[in-house]
């Protein structure tokens, strides 16, 4: 593997001879997919740092590969939530109106940067670490934050809610394109604030559905920039597709109070590790 994390021709041939499916990557994909299906969170927030810290993947390659992994995984989750009628397509459309153009603009900017450089790798790692810490805080203090801001947001009219939803999508587009983190926990928290009357299952389903076009556009952009590892992606998807299918079906039966502290603590530790 070269400095940028991409496979050389000889390494690709050797890896193909061994077969594209790595059981350890597939197992990681399954558990992350299971978590995403249940909560809408944990895709980029867990998979990207897992690839960087545990498997030693270059940060730029980890982000690019995880984006396409998230797109395929959350497509399956969207189908399940759509079948269960636990998503709102108008919310998905408003978020995408902001996220897709913001993603395209961010890709244009980073295309001018050498993603294989050490400075860029360090920057991605630091941005990822900060976003993981913010995500962790949003999980730890979500109830208090919603109690503080929720009553104020209830007074906002439909036009303001529409504008804020599109703006939220644009912010998520930038964050996800750079780090692959944000579409899950940060997106769910924002939707809870903007649509406090909706059930949690619909919030999660809508967030997962919005992540599909966002991560697809960002992932294809990273592919053209050369920061996608296809054999790694194949292995991850082999585990994640059954994982998110199972997680989406049982999402209504696993208490959020159990999952949220575990995920928040994990993200706090991982975020601190990436920064330090």
Burial of 226 (0-12, 13-18, 19+ CB in 10 A): middle
Rounded (5°) CA angle 125-95-80 = 90
User: Rounded to an integer, what distance in angstroms lies between the CA atom of residue 198 and that of residue 221?
Assistant: 33
Average pLDDT per block of 10 residues along the chain, 276 residues long: 46 44 87 75 75 85 89 84 87 96 93 70 72 72 67 71 93 87 75 80 87 93 90 89 79 63 68 67
**Is the CB of residue 266 less than 8 Å from the CB of residue 98?**
no
* pLDDT, averaged across the chain: 78
Q: Provide the phi-psi class of 56: left if phi over 0, else alpha when psi is between -120 and 50, else beta.
A: left
Q: Which sequence spans correspond to the domains of the chain?
A: 20-275
Structure tokens of 74? 């959350």
Q: Which of 178, 205, 177 is nearest to 191 (CA)?
A: 205
User: Rounded to an integer, what distance in angstroms lies between the CA atom of residue 86 and that of residue 248?
Assistant: 10
Residues 6+ apart with CB under 8 A from 235: 20, 21, 22, 23, 25, 26, 29
pLDDT of residue 197: 77
């Amino acid at each position: 593997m070269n400095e940028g994390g991409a496979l050389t021709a000889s390494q690709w041939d050797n890896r193909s001879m061994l077969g594209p499916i790595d059981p350890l990557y597939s197992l990681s994909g399954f558990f992350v997919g299971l978590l995403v299906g249940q909560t809408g969170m944990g895709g980029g927030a867990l998979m990207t740092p897992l690839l960087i810290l545990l498997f030693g993947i270059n940060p730029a390659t980890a982000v690019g590969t995880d984006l396409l992994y998230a797109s395929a995984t959350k497509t399956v989750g969207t189908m399940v939530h759509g079948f269960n009628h636990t998503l709102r397509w108008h919310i998905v459309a408003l978020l995408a109106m902001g996220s897709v153009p913001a993603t395209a603009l961010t890709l244009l900017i980073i295309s001018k940067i050498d993603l294989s450089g050490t400075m860029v790798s360090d920057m991605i790692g630091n941005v990822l670490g900060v976003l993981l810490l913010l995500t962790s805080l949003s999980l730890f203090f979500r109830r208090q934050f919603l109690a503080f801001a929720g009553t104020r947001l209830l007074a906002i009219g439909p036009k303001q809610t529409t504008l804020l939803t599109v703006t939220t999508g644009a912010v998520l587009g930038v964050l996800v394109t750079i780090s692959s983190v944000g579409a899950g926990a940060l997106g769910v928290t924002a939707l809870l604030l903007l649509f406090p009357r909706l059930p949690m299952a619909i919030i999660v389903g809508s967030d997962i559905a919005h992540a599909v076009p966002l991560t697809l556009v960002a992932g294809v952009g990273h592919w053209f920039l050369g920061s996608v590892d296809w054999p790694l992606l194949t292995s991850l998807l082999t585990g994640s597709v059954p994982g998110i299918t199972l997680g989406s079906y049982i999402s209504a039966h696993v208490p959020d109070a159990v999952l949220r502290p575990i995920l928040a603590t994990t993200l706090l530790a991982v975020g601190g590790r990436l920064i330090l």
